[in-house]
C-alpha cells in the first residue's frame, strides 16, 4: 500500500497528524485516544498497515 493512500485512509476515519519525526509521522485517533507511528517509506507492508489501523482502532483498508 502506498503511504499516501494509508494516510488518506487514516484521515477519512478521523485520525489527525500529531507530529513529524525524522523517520516517522505520529497519527492520533482523538476519539479512541490512541496513537501510532507511520514510517516514511513509499510502500508500507500490508501487515504493518493492518497493525497501524488496529492500534488506532479504525477499520482495516483491506477486506479480510
State the Cα–Cα distance between residues 27 and 38, nearest whole angstrom: 8
pLDDT band at 61 (very low <50, low <70, confident <90, very high): confident
Residue 62 has pLDDT above 80, yes or no: no
Residue 64 has pLDDT above 80, yes or no: no
Q: What is the pLDDT of residues 20-57, one digit of tens each?
A: 999 999 999 999 999 999 999 999 999 999 999 999 99
Note the pLDDT of residue 37.
96
Note the pLDDT of residue 20.
96
CATH 3.30.920 fits 3-56, yes or no: yes
State the Cα–Cα distance between residues 15 and 64, nearest whole angstrom: 22
Which bin fits 31, alpha (ψ -120 to 50), beta or left (φ > 0)?
A: alpha
Residue 11 has pLDDT above 60, yes or no: yes
Q: Domain extents for the chain?
A: 3-56
Cell digits for 47? 501487515
Amino acid at each position: 500500500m502506498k503511504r499516501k493512500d494509508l494516510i488518506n485512509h487514516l484521515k477519512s476515519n478521523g485520525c489527525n497528524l500529531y507530529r513529524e519525526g525524522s523517520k516517522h509521522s505520529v497519527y492520533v485517533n482523538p476519539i479512541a485516544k490512541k496513537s501510532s507511528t507511520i514510517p516514511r517509506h513509499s510502500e508500507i507492508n500490508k501487515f504493518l498497515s493492518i497493525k497501524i489501523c488496529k492500534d488506532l482502532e479504525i477499520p482495516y483498508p483491506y477486506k479480510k
